[in-house]
Amino acid sequence: MLSLLKQYFGYDSFYPLQQEIITNVVAKKDTLAIMPTGGGKSLCYQLPAIRLPGLAVVISPLIALMKDQVDQLKMNGVEAELINSSLTAEEISGVQSAALTGQLKILYIAPERLGAYGFAEFLRLLPVSLIAIDEAHCISEWGHDFRPDYRQLRVLRDWFPTVPLIALTATATDRVRSDIITQLKLKEPAIFIASFDRPNLRYSVLPKKGMAASLLPLLDKYRGQSAILYCFSRKGTEELAHSLQQRGYKAAAYHGGLDSKTRTRVQDRFINDEIDIITATIAFGMGIDKSNVRLVVHCDLPKSVEGYYQETGRAGRDGLPADCVLFFSHGDRRKHAYFIDELKDEQERKQAWDKLEEVLKYGDLSTCRRAYLLGHFGEETAKENCAGCDVCLGQVTVEDATDITRIILTAVLQTGERFGMGYLASVLLGKPSDRIASSRHDRLPSFGALQGHKTAELNAVMRKLISLGLLKQSPGEYPVVLMTPKGHQFLDQKETIDLPSVLRSTGGRTKKLSAEDENFDQGLFDRLRSLRKELADRRGVPPYVIFGDRTLREMAVYYPQSEGSLLTIYGVGAQKWEQFGADFLTIIRKYAAETGVVEVKKGFIPKITRRLLGSTFGQTKELLTQGLTSAQIARKRGLAEGTILSHLEKLLEQEPKLPIDHLKPPSDNLRAIGEAFQKTGGWAMAPVKEILGEAYSYDEIRLARIFLTRE
């Protein structure tokens, strides 16, 4: 199996549980695999399909994902096709003919296809080796994405009683797992539950107030790279996309209100790296297998932890670092309240409120966010510090809040547990009102007990106490604050408590995964990326179908210059070598000749300081010492001026005394840009650009920042 893995997919080893799952499937046993997004679910049926005689049938609800996976399989040398509503009757007939004559190894079909006239008879004529049901949680009413079409999949067991079934999903609670097994009639299935942890993702929560000022630096950090921004409403996606376009970002909106042609065009442009940012409702993302999304932002509150986990899971599927940011406000609760209260079924309504409360708790956490997400899926972590969320990275400061907590809990009891946070805050602040007077709450010991604080501060503390389980809220649009047994215990036993003093994140670094992640040659990477885009456009496939970013980064670390060394790179298999090896070697060899870099043996990672002198940075440095400006160097090297300035920043990290005085902007420019930076209170460029408008370009601001930070 390892030989097939390298030959067809270019990988040298399996992800956790992949080998065990594949072994079980090849042994023709039923299987339930719960694996996180990016954990390698597809390989668990694709590799057995290659190994076993006959044809594998894959059920998937996602037309875009089907096409994406078929494209990738064909590129890897595996004969695969799909049948769904995007094909004409003539095209479907052609695929069926290929399947019946043994020309296919894998056939993807949509679930509703099973009910089509004559389709069952067609399937029964095939030598089916295995049946894979992707997104299996869709079969369960308890799943977060129930689809009635999935219910008819139970007939597959009757049609193919001896064929192994593998059900796969990224998110499933115990109840959903049991439902999947029952509905699909799995026979004594082996159940594999991989860790839900995605160590390359960093989770942060930022206050929604002033979102624009925080969002733009995030987008600047990942300028030119892929990002998904989720919004609650269609209107929100349109307005945000327009605002970003006005600021020069390549962005587009995606939502269910667009016609299918427009949605497809936007999705294809994003997949093909023609636009960097998608502003979307949750209608976007299911079926997107884009591996190099570096940033996922929720501009509004998601409706469930399961949905949030799945949506953030679209970041960093290549295993490289990525950021997942939630802009948090309790005011967003009202947006969901309208739709939840419209639900007719009382049990369904209660479930929706419970799920929303779990999201609110996540936003209010003063403990590890990763541990909270893992705990939601029944997984415990032994790590006290995950080093990958804003809390554990020390970006959420805490202070003793014992006294204020006791006063608030006491006020909840004294007012009879009949009021919401706004009313309680008024009592605690000593704000008189007719309602407070008529309830005689202006005579309580807690009336005015927290004078000097602000309503927003008290509301924030109450929300923290709710997230910690000392208080709770009743369901509905106007919730009442109630005490919990844990809250009573806190008062009775005179416990102490620390709470976050300010809900903020400073955008710290994601923890480092490996030297390759940090230590690749950006100049070579950019050239390889351009080649990848050219090859992809020529074949009409997304760039990551050629090679993922991780593969290109490894090439830009080790500079492979022979067939043997290129085949050691992650993601380079025999089929990819035959199709693209010569093209990529040509680029790498040319780059090596220009810069003087030499091939590095896989496993030994040179320090970036050694490479700077002989790489693209070295060329920039040499031209700098000749007295050329950044604009002149950019023209001479055929690069963007911003790229040259990024070289300059890296060179200065290694050689702070590098002579660059000839680059210094005019004093008036430096003073104006410096004053703008002072107003923003940081060194992010986007807020400064917003202040200065068209007076200065990003490159001028960046160059000025280099000198301002040296003073």
Whole-Å CA distances, 303 to 136, 334, 457, 477: 20, 12, 25, 14
Assigned token pair, 680: 């923003």
Whether the Cβ atoms of residue 574 and residue 612 lie closer than 8 Å to each other: no
Please name which of 412, 423, 418 lies closest in space to residue 484, comparing C-alpha atoms: 412
| pLDDT score for 51 | 92
Phi/psi of residue 478, nearest 5 degrees: -120, 80
Task: Note whether 302 and 358 are within 8 A (CB).
Answer: no
**CATH topology assigned to domain 398-500:** Arc Repressor Mutant, subunit A (1.10.10)
Dihedral sign computed on CA atoms, order 423, 427, 431, 432: positive
Report the first-to-last Cα separation within the chain, whole angstroms. 59
Q: What would you report as the CA-atom Rg of the chain, rounded to the nearest whole angstrom?
A: 28
Amino acid identity at 81? E
Query: How far is CA 49 from each of CA 22, 56, 61, 403, rounded to the nearest angstrom?
Result: 10, 5, 20, 63
Give me the DSSP letters along 44-88.
Answer: HHHHHHHHSSSEEEEE-S-HHHHHHHHHHHHHTT--EEEESTTS-
Q: CB under 8 Å to 535, separation ≥6 — which residues? A: 546, 580, 583
**φ, ψ dihedrals at 463, nearest 5°:** -65, -40
**Euclidean distance between CA atoms 270 and 277, whole angstroms:** 7
SS (H, E, C) 236-305: HHHHHHHHHHHCCCCEEEECCCCCHHHHHHHHHHHHCCCCCEEEECCCCCCCCCCCCEEEEEECCCCCCH
| pLDDT (0 to 100) of residue 295 | 94
Domain 515-654 fold is: DNA polymerase; domain 1 (1.10.150)
Which stretch of DSSP H or E encloses residue 550?
helix 549-558
CB 95 within 8 A of CB 82: yes
Other Cβ atoms less than 10 A from the Cβ of 30: the count is 22
Task: Check if the beta carbon of residue 313 is closer than 8 Å to that of residue 250.
Answer: no
* pTM more than 0.95: no
Q: Which CATH class is domain 201-339+360-376?
A: alpha beta
Class of domain 2-193: alpha beta
- Count the Cβ atoms, other than its own, within 10 Å of residue 104: 20
> CB count, 10 Å around CB of 403?
12
Tokens of 295: 């940033």
Question: At 624, is the secondary structure helix, strand, or coil?
Answer: helix
Tell me if 391 sits within 8 A of 367, measured CB to CB.
yes
CB-based contact 559:588 (threshold 8 Å): yes
Domain 398-500 in the same topology as domain 201-339+360-376: no
Q: What is the pLDDT of residue 464?
A: 81
Q: For the chain, which residues make up each domain, given as ranges?
A: 2-193, 201-339+360-376, 398-500, 515-654, 664-708
Q: How far is CA 324 from CA 9, 222, 296, in A?
A: 28, 12, 5
Half-sphere exposure of 369 (CA within 13 A, CB side): 31
Low-confidence ranges of the chain (pLDDT < 50): 502-518, 605-614
Taking a C-beta distance cutoff of 8 angstroms, is the pair 504, 490 a contact? no
Q: Are 424 and 415 in contact (CB under 8 A)?
A: yes
> Rounded to an integer, what distance in angstroms lies between the CA atom of residue 464 and that of residue 451?
20
SS3 (DSSP) at 328: strand
DSSP-derived 3-state class of residue 434: helix
Distance of CA 160 to CAs 106, 129, 253, 492, Å? Answer: 16, 10, 43, 62
Asked whether the beta carbons of 18 and 7 are under 8 A apart, the reply is no
Question: Which pLDDT tens digit goes with each residue over 577-603?
Answer: 888 999 999 999 998 888 777 888 775
Tell me how far CA of residue 249 lies from CA of 297, 528, 529, in angstroms: 16, 23, 20
Which structure tokens are listed for 364?
């209010």
- CA 612/CA 508 separation, integer angstroms: 25
Which strand (E) or helix (H) includes residue 691? helix 685-692
CA dist., res. 219 & res. 184, Å (int): 43
Angle of helix 402-414 relative to helix 421-429, nearest 10 degrees? 110
Angle between helices 346-364 and 333-341 (to 10 degrees): 170
Query: Would you tell me how many other CB atoms lie within 10 Å of the CB of residue 102?
Result: 13
